[in-house]
Amino acid sequence: MTYRPVSGLALAADIDAGRLSPGDVLNRAEAVIAEHEATIGAFEHLDIAAAANAARTASGPLHGLPVGIKDVFDTADMPTTYGSSIYRGHRPVADAAIVSMIKRAGGTIIGKTVTTEFAFFEPGKTRNPVNPGHTPGGSSSGSAAAVAAGMVPFAVGTQTGGSVVRPASFCGIAGYKPSFRLIPTVGLKPFSWTLDTVGFFAAGIDDVAYFVSAATGRNLRTDGAAPGAPRIALAHTHLWHEASGEMRQALETAARHAAAAGAAVAEIELAGLFSEAFAAHQIIQDHQAALALAWEHENHSDSLSAILRDTLDYGRTISVDDYDAARRTARAARLALRDTLTEFDILLTPSAPGAAPEGLGSTGSAIFNRLWTLMGVPAINVPGLKAGSGLPLGVQVVGRHGRDHETLLAAKWLETAISGAN
């Protein structure tokens, strides 16, 4: 069984040129879903009929292309369960801001994609399209899998720890976590309000940049651009030893291809303050989660998974003094990272410890993503490399806060360098 992501940018060009209609694209998406959804399980809810009606009248830069929305975003015309039985059948009265933005740009919402429980750790039903015996990652599991399987060209997710970059790496597609506050989180069920970030999935860098540009009206597109070779820092944190041998080799391969294509590449160590900031992430996240999910914890504790219930219990024990100290550590690390990125255009780091783990009992580890989410900087999974098993190995590009276009251009440059060398 072969799955292949489809280029949303190419589909948009075909629609624009009259070679395809939005209905043609939706029919193809419906056929792929009908054939593979029973195996992959990417969707919590589908409404093909409503999507067909919307596609007939869609106008805007997204040309009626189908989009999957992670089931932590409110949708007025579809159920929103947040991955929890507590909200089974829940129907919000309004769309989340990003859903409205996508509709206004001409995107067709085809369904709600599977999320882990409240976008935390408890896995859903979704399988990895590259190898269904392996996890697709999480918490944006359904969004990543739907794109990787070619069910939709675009999908929306969230990242609080590593929930966009890691599943994109595991599924072999582009995943983009923008700078913090670039995209509104209104209508998103919060877990940690200073970490939760809207993210985006597509086949490749040009595709994801096109999707975000169309949805936001921002100039973030990379197609047609010929970016110059970036200054790259191959960044080792205190967690470098946690990367598998194949992931370390993938980073070194990417760095070698980049140098051969003309990039200046240097190795740097990010330790000390940055390891303290990594620890601060959990304190901030868990303290905020205990507040954000206080009602669910107090009224439906028995309906929560054990791992979430334990996390919320722990979050309640974190004092406000420790929480504020963690926030100060995060701010100091952001300033230090800003200074580091005056010498480099991007950092190159692992997207995950390795390839997607076997089995569906875990969505994998976010240890190589949490720091960058805390820093609020753009982070992008660049696909193109593989483990010996054939599973994807993504490498992560990290840029300076607010320099999302430059970071996307650097990611495109690196993607081209990797694909050109393979």
Rounded CA-CA distance 173/393 in Å is 10
Residue 229, pLDDT score: 98
What integer pLDDT is reported at residue 410 of this predicted model? 98
Cα gap 278→341, rounded to integer Å: 18
**Are residues 150 and 32 in contact, defined by beta-carbon separation less than 8 angstroms?**
yes
Instruction: Give the mean pLDDT of 286-302.
Output: 98
Given a contact cutoff of 8 angstroms between Cβ atoms, the answer to whether 65 and 25 are in contact is yes
Q: Own/partner pairs for 418-421, CB < 8 Å, 24+ apart? A: 418/253, 418/254, 418/257, 418/382, 418/384, 418/385, 419/384, 420/257, 420/261, 421/257, 421/260, 421/261
Q: What is the pLDDT of residues 35-92, one digit of tens each?
A: 999 999 999 999 999 999 999 999 999 999 999 999 999 999 999 999 999 999 999 9
> For the ranges 1-5, 173-177, 207-211, which has the lowest average pLDDT?
1-5
Instruction: Say if residue 158 is exposed, middle or buried (CB neighbours under 10 Å; 0-12, 13-18, 19+).
Output: buried
Could you give the CA distance from residue 250 to residue 246 in angstroms, rounded to a whole number?
6
What is the bridge-based pairing of β-strands 392-398 and 379-386?
A: antiparallel
* pLDDT tens-digit readout, 365-402: 999 999 999 999 999 999 999 999 999 999 999 999 99
CB of 396 within 8 A of CB of 403? no
Comparing CA positions, the residue from 384, 308, 360 lying closest to residue 137 is 360
For residues 54-75, b (16+ Cβ closer than 10 Å) or e, as one string? bbeebeebbbbbbbbbbbbbbb
The answer on pLDDT for 420 being more than 90 is no
Residue-level pLDDT at 271 = 87
Q: Which residues contact 174 (CB under 8 A, 6 or more apart)?
A: 168, 201, 202, 203, 204, 205, 207, 208, 380, 381, 382, 383, 411, 415
Catalytic residue annotation? 70, 139, 163
- The mean per-residue pLDDT over the stretch 226-241 comes to 96
Predicted pLDDT of residue 396 = 98
Tokens 């360098």 appear where? Answer: 417
As a whole number of angstroms, the distance between CA 120 and CA 307 comes to 9
Domains and CATH numbers, the chain: 8-216 (3.90.1300.10)
Average pLDDT, the chain: 97
CB 205 within 8 A of CB 404: no
Classify the C-alpha dihedral 109-112-113-117 as positive or negative: positive
28 contact partners, CB below 8 Å, separation of at least 6: none
Q: How confident is the model at residue 272 (pLDDT cuts 50, 70, 90)?
A: very high
What pLDDT sits at residue 1? 55
Q: Does the pTM of the predicted model rise above 0.85?
A: yes
Listed in sequence order, the residues at least 6 apart from 385 whose beta carbon sits closer than 8 Å to its beta carbon are: 250, 253, 254, 392, 393, 394, 395, 418, 422
pLDDT tens digits along 310-366: 999 999 999 999 999 999 999 999 999 999 999 999 999 999 999 999 999 999 999
